Amino acid sequence: MPVANGTLVGVSIAPELVAPDVIDRVLAEAVARGGEMAEVFCEDRTSRTAMFDDGRVEELASGQERGAGIRVILGETTGFAHTADLSEAGLLEAARAAAAVAKQGGGGTNVVGLEKRRAYSTNAVRLHDDVATSEKLELLAKANDAARSVGGSISQVQASYAEGRRRILVATTEGVNASDDQVRTRFNVICVATGDSGLQTGFESVARTEGFELFDAVNVDELGRIAATRALSKLQARPAPSGEVPVVLAGGSGGVLFHEACGHGLEADHIVKDSSVYCGQMGELVASPLVTLVDDGTVTGEWGAFSIDDEGRPAQRNVLIENGVLTDYMWDWLRARKEGRPSSGNGRRETYQHLPMVRMTNTFLLAGQEDPEEIVAQTPHGVYVAKLGGGQVNTATGDFVFGTTEAYLIEDGKITEPLRDANLIGNGPEVLRRIDAIADDFSMMPGTCGKDGQSVPVGCGQPTLRITGVTFGGTAA
C-alpha cells in the first residue's frame, strides 16, 4: 500500500469521532430501503489564523467544526445529507434523509463487513498546539518588518498565518474503512506600494501539508521582502502588451497554466458528461511531445497532498499526459464506477457538508533538459512571467485565462522592463501544442482551487518553459 504522506498506524482516530459499531448501524440504516452503496464521511477540523495588518496584530481567530456527511447511491442518483450531530441518533437521522432518494428502490443492500481500518497519522513533526502563540506572532512581526524595510514606498503590509488540522474517517458499504489526519500550515504577505502612478500590490505565500516545522525551511523575512519588491517594481511598470506574444513562464511562476489549460478538462466528471475538449482524446497527441503532466497526491508535504482522498482511497501518482499523448483522466468513485475502473484517488470535498467530486491534487509538468537562461536568451522578443496569479477555464470550450502578478518584457533575449498585471487568454489544446522549450529547473506553488462552489488546497508546478504565442491582455496597443 503506498504510504507517502502520513504513516499507517495501528491507532485510529475513530473512537474520538464515531464508534465502529455505530458506523455499522448507520451504514445499514442508509441502505435499508435500497441503494447500491452508502458512505459515512466524518470530519473534525480545527483552524487558527493570525493577522498582522497596518503595523499591529489585528486579529486572532480560531474555530472548530465537526460533523458527518452521508451519501446513498442508487443507480445514477446520489442522496446526501449532513449533520453536525455525531450522536448515533443524529447520524441515523442523516442516514434516513440521505436514503430518501432511494425510496423507489426495492430491498436492502447487504453491507460488506468493514475492512480492518487503515488509519494514517499526520506527517507533521511540530504540531501547532505544541507551539506557543507568541512564537507564531513573532513570525508575522518579522515578515512585516522585513517588507517595510524594502523601501519608503511600501505603504501597507498585511501578513497572515494560518494553521489547520483535519481528521477524517471514511467508511462504506463496500468495506472501505480508512482515516487520515491532515495538518496544513500557510503564511502570506501582501504589500501595497504607493507612487506617482498609484497603488500596486505584491503577494508572496508559502503553504504546505505539514506542521510548524515549515518555518525551519522557510524564512519569513524573505517572503516579506519578495512581496514588497514585487509591489515596488510595479510602480515603474509599463502597461502590459496587447495581442499575441511569445511568453516564457519562469520555473517559480507556478503551474496554474496547466491547472487551467488541461487539468480541469481532464477531470472525469466533465468527461462522462461530454463537457470537456479532451473527451475522446485518449491515446491522442494533445500537447507538444515535450509535455509530460502528472497529478500526484503522494508528494509529501505539498499543499495538495494527503494519505487518503475524501472517499477513503489512497493518494496516488497519475500520469495524465506522457510525451504529449493523453494517457488518463482523473477519477473519483462515482465516475470510475460508470467506466468499470478504479478511482484514481481524486475524490475530494471541501468539508463534510459537501459531496465529493473529481479534483486535482498536485498537478505538475515534468522538467525538460534546457537551460532556463538559454530559453530567455533565445527569445528575441516576448514577455517573461516571473509569477502567476489565479486563473479560470471553460472546460467545454477549452478557453482559459490566467493572471500575471510579476512580469517583464523580453527584448533581444534579455529581461528588461517590468509590466503591470494582466490576464492572458488561450485555448488549452492550442497552447499545449505551442510549448517549444522546457527547462531543467522546477518549482511548485500552492493554490486554492474552486469548483462548483467548493474550495480545496492544490499544488501546481512547472519548470521554465516557452509558449510560442499566447494572447496577452494588457492595455498597451
Q: Which is nearer to other proteins, 49 or 378 (CB)?
A: 49
Closest alpha carbon to 360 in 453, 257, 449, 277? 449
Measured from the CB of residue 20, what is the shortest distance to other proteins in angstroms?
23
Q: Which is nearer to other proteins, 314 or 428 (CB)?
A: 428
Closest alpha carbon to 358 in 263, 427, 289, 221? 263
Q: Which is nearer to other proteins, 19 or 84 (CB)?
A: 84
Determine how β-strand 154-172 pairs with β-strand 177-195: antiparallel
Measured from the CB of residue 269, what is the shortest distance to other proteins in angstroms?
10
Q: Which is nearer to other proteins, 64 or 323 (CB)?
A: 64
Q: Which is nearer to other proteins, 59 or 216 (CB)?
A: 59
Beta-sheet strands, E only, within 54-89: 56-74, 77-83
**Dihedral Cα 39, 209, 44, 350, nearest 10 deg:** -60
Sign for the pseudo-dihedral over CA of 159, 209, 388, 422: negative
Task: Give the H or E element holding residue 396.
Answer: none
Q: Answer left, alpha or beta for residue 130, where phi above 0 means left and psi between -120 and 50 means alpha.
A: alpha
Cβ proximity of 350 and 325 under 8 Å = no
Distance of CA 210 to the CA centre of its chain: 15
7: number of Cβ within 10 Å: 12
Q: Which is nearer to other proteins, 78 or 300 (CB)?
A: 78
Q: Which is nearer to other proteins, 83 or 318 (CB)?
A: 83
Measured from the CB of residue 36, what is the shortest distance to other proteins in angstroms?
15
Measured from the CB of residue 40, what is the shortest distance to other proteins in angstroms?
14
Residues 6 or more apart in contact with residue 211 via CB below 8 angstroms: 122, 124, 125, 126, 127, 128, 183, 185
Measured from the CB of residue 67, what is the shortest distance to other proteins in angstroms?
7
Q: Which residues pair with 119 in a beta bridge?
A: 9, 179
**Cα(378)–Cα(380) distance, integer angstroms:** 6
Measured from the CB of residue 472, what is the shortest distance to other proteins in angstroms?
6
Q: Which is nearer to other proteins, 235 or 294 (CB)?
A: 235
Determine how β-strand 454-462 pairs with β-strand 362-365: parallel
Cβ proximity of 42 and 86 under 8 Å = yes
Q: Which is nearer to other proteins, 56 or 116 (CB)?
A: 56
Measured from the CB of residue 336, what is the shortest distance to other proteins in angstroms?
16
Measured from the CB of residue 5, what is the shortest distance to other proteins in angstroms?
25
Alpha helices (H) in 80-152, listed in sequence order: 88-99, 133-148
Measured from the CB of residue 380, what is the shortest distance to other proteins in angstroms?
20
